[in-house]
Amino acid sequence: MPNERATVVQTPLGAELLTFTHLVGRDEISRCFAHTVGFVSTNHNVDPLKMLGGAVSVEGESDPKRWFSGLVSEFRLTRIEDRLAYYEAVIRPWLWFLGNTTDCRIFQNMTAVEIVEKIFSKYGTAKFEKRLQGSYPSREYCVQYDESDLDFVQRLMEHEGIFYFFEYDEGKHTLILCDAMSKLKAAPGYDKVLYNFEGQGSRRDVEYITEWVPGS
């Protein structure tokens, strides 16, 4: 049974101003995650500019520890009730922000992986790790034409059969580039996960899968 521990939250505003209420999110292979984090505060005028672009981390109550970390892409006041202000922040990976601008460039005599690394090198927030076992041919001529950096690197990786996902830790998230199942590893404490099939009783103190849908 997991230990009962309080949820730990880190925000650009410190530990006192915002109190965590909930987290709802979704992770997918080769897609940017989006987690909505709820807060409550006695302050009705939290400045969103002090949150936007900042790092938010949430440590769940599970044992072993499990973090969710990202950068704030949206921050809003949702309601005021009983003198308390309720806020929501949407946190996304640094990779998502590469979709906000477009560019036109030519890359010569570079592999797809080298091109991706060169693009990532422009961004100070970029944290990534390569777990690749394949070899990739050098491209004599490769064009990014009026594409965002996000669309361009995703196109290159998809063409080469490279997929990605994110690993979380306290205060950070890391993009993992992978091209083989043998390079994957189970998250700590999740070597085995229960499947709660229809009709089986549920327990709040146990994590389990409620739905399994084969991919197309």
Nearest in space to 48 (alpha carbons), one of 24, 16, 13: 13
Judged against a pLDDT cut of 50, whether residue 4 lies above it is answered with no
User: What pLDDT, on the 0 to 100 scale, is given for residue 1?
Assistant: 30
CB 71 within 8 A of CB 91: yes
Judged against a pLDDT cut of 80, whether residue 198 lies above it is answered with no
Cβ neighbour number for residue 38 with a 10 Å cutoff:
16
More confident residue, 106 or 187: 106
* pLDDT mean across residues, the chain: 89
Tens digits of per-residue pLDDT, 158-192? 999 999 999 998 889 999 999 988 778 877 777 88
As a whole number of Å, the end-to-end CA separation of the chain is 36
Strand partners, 80: 85
- What CA–CA distances, in Å, run from 107 to 1, 18, 95, 115, 121? 53, 46, 20, 7, 15
Q: Which residues touch 153 (CB under 8 Å, ≥6 apart)?
A: 98, 115, 116, 119, 120
Q: Which residues touch 138 (CB under 8 Å, ≥6 apart)?
A: 109, 110, 111
**DSSP state at residue 110:** B
Query: Under CATH, which number does the domain 8-92+186-209 receive?
Result: 2.30.110.50
Q: Which CATH class is domain 99-163?
A: alpha beta
pTM of the predicted structure, to 2 decimals = 0.85
Pairing mode of beta strands 172-178, 128-131: parallel
User: What pLDDT, on the 0 to 100 scale, is given for residue 2?
Assistant: 40
Find the angle CA(189)-CA(94)-CA(182) to the nearest 5 degrees: 40
Tokens of 174: 């890391």
Nearest in space to 78 (alpha carbons), one of 30, 18, 6, 135: 18
Which pLDDT band, with edges at 50, 70 and 90, does 117 fall under?
very high
Tens digits of per-residue pLDDT, 28-59? 999 999 999 999 999 999 999 999 999 999 98
Which whole number is the average pLDDT over 135-146? 96
Which whole number is the average pLDDT over 61-83? 89
CA-based radius of gyration for the chain: 20
Nearest in space to 71 (alpha carbons), one of 19, 2, 123, 149: 123
User: What pLDDT, on the 0 to 100 scale, is given for residue 202?
Assistant: 61
CA–CA separation, 65 and 215 (whole Å): 29
Domain ranges, ordered by start, for the chain? 8-92+186-209, 99-163
Least confident of 16-20, 93-97, 199-203: 199-203
